[in-house]
Structure 1
Amino acid sequence: MNLVKRCVYGISILSLVSMNVQCKGEKKEEAAGTAQEAKATDSVSIVKTVYGETEKGEQIDRYTLKNQKGMEVNIITYGGIITSLKVPNKAGKSEEVVIGFNSLEQYQKANPYFGALIGRFGNRIAKGKFTLDGKQYSLAINNEPNALHGGPEGFHRVVWTAEEAKGGDTASLKLKYVAKDMEEGYPGNLTVFVTYTLNKDNALDVLYEATTDKKTVVNLTQHSYFNLSSDFSKPILDHEITIDADKLVPVDATLIPTGKLTDVTNTPFDFRKPKAVGKEINAADDQLKKGLGYDHCWVLNNQGKGDRLVASAYHAGSGRLLEVYTDQPGIQFYSGNFLDGTLPMRNGGTYAHRTGFCLETQHYPDSPNQKDFPTTVLSPGENYKTKTTFKFSVK
């Protein structure tokens, strides 16, 4: 029975005024219901809340991106940090899979870049120096004797502005930061955009964009620590890692590249077929000793062919599979060797040795000082643009 019939059937003429009011009310209720139904059909949502306030009094917001397949990502405007990432296991239970803290206060303290955006230059630069057009630039030494991850006040410790966007199948958070000329020692005013996009199929895209008004170097990445078991009291040694790379960037005692690229065949660094992290991590290998485990950049295959599957991680117990797609030339696989049990877990306890791993898509370390490596130089008028995707599933 339609709306008019519902209102007039059996109603006396003396009730017409009352009926008219009732009909209008029902129309409003139906319209509101329709709007709610339309909203419910969106497969991905984004919600903003206040996360806290920095020591300088800056408000930090948290954005929660969530889809209907059980994936949820929390990102804060401080450092562009992924504070939480939940995905389903093979039983359909959605659980935490990244290392993180409970408070903004903890993120502001010294920590190994948990979940953060890294820039202006990810990884190490030898002795904190590089030369552009004959001019030498000096950076802060924060990983003696080298510069690491953009310096002590790099992109992981700045406040980003945020703009959200949502469609039916995706939700995006576009972060912006302008790094001033000579900030942390780097030349040029660099305007950076990083866009996180969650889709309905449990994939998180990270799009990096940048422009500069002076020649500079740029190498951006994302520094989340994963543990697909969701049990952060256990090491990640049982995770099977695959890296599509025939060559490695070997390093010296200070983890700076030697300049040569070596074949991974018959070494502990051959992950071209799935291999447990713990299988050879303690092997008598010179490179492993220097990194105290895996803390190296792999030379990815099929460079120049755009986005491609470059690495994966699988945890049999949970059934979770993480696939990494990128257009970058390298990936730093870090097995959490420097986690030492001093930093607090969310629910009590501490993050112990090798309880998280990183897969950081990037250019090779120390590229500004290595003439044979792919360039990381960005000039005025050029657009830096690169994308990495973290896709989750079960098997």
Structure 2
Amino acid sequence: MTTLVAARRDLRLPERSLCAFACATVALAPVEGYLLAVHGQLAKLAPALLAVTWVAVRVRDRVPPRPHPVHGVLALFAVVVLVSAAVHAGEPYALEYTQRWLPFLVVTAILVDVAAREVPIRSLLVSAVAGAAVAGGGALYSLIAEGESRASGPLDDPNDLAHVLVAALPLVVPIVAARRGPVSVLALLAGGVLVAGAAATFSRGGGLALTAAVALLVLRKVLPLRVLAAACGVLAVLALGGAVVAEQELAKALQEKSFIASTNVDTRELRWQAAARILTEHPLLGVGPGGFRQEYAGASHNAEVDEQTPVAHDMYLEVAAELGLPGLLLFAGLIGTAVVAGERALRRGADRHQVVAVQASLLAVVVASTFLSEQYYLPLWLMIAVACAADIRTGSGSARPARDQ
């Protein structure tokens, strides 16, 4: 009898490992910079283990992934990336950026499947908040202990960090709404760290993204106005206290941000114009993955002498310039598929707090990416995966109780 129980436990081990690796992939993504500081390949370990375990479990069970329209869009987008990379194989950044694109597409497909089967959606959301909270703590540490004028933490660019933190913030709502004792309390504390960390980056794009996400949560009646008002009151008191304690440091940071902001407006306009010019000249397949960096100097007529290989600071224009109109349409199709999937899951009775929070997080990413190149960060792909997984879970014959989601 003991042997039988042990055997049954062993049979469940791969599934538990699948859940652990999926959550680790999500939780460690926001602190990738810290992992890279330890070892150049350490950040790839969790996704690699997830992929290997996923293949092993599916082969063992002889069960293919549950189909969803997003798989078709992901496959077509991967084809465009590969064809564009092949056409521009001689370009210096083509291989490097192709190797950035493909893992995100593969991990997204895997996360859709495991979140629709073995891994509770709630676990992925908790992991995302936990990882982002650690990144937020790093941001505050860099500001307070290391004396940085703008928090950066595990990422080099404060704006990128703000995007990661703001994208995780809506996910606190369903965790707190579940009212599961210590987890809810920890989620509230994590939310405070996320807000403080995002504020310490002084990112305007992050502020706009947060405003859009909160507005959606309120409009969809997931975040009550009284709760929002109370949270704003607490944050205002804390912000006032921080301003009094660190008045000189805050004034210096605001002065530097004001100078940087005026410069950013000019440089971003130059880069957007260059990206649009590249798209006009190469509408079919663009200039290849990473090609914007190579072509920017020529397309901008050397507008930035001290920055010859920048990013476009607009996710959509950068994707369009590098992969052409087909790539842009398929990329937008991935986001649109997630939006439709989320709405369908809501109509079928999915956990409202979870799905609306995912939609708010996706909206934050979409808004922030108007000013940033965020296609190589996990929040976008995670929200697409979770929305589509919720759709699969609530589909005919595949729904699970809301508490399991």
Q: Work out which structure has the larger RCO, using CA pairs closer than 8 Å and 6 or more positions apart in sequence.
A: 2
**Structure with larger Rg:** 1
Asked if TM exceeds 0.5, the reply is: no
**Structure number having the greater strand percentage:** 1
Give me the TM-score of the superposition, normalised by structure 1.
Answer: 0.27
Give me the TM-score of the superposition, normalised by structure 2.
Answer: 0.27
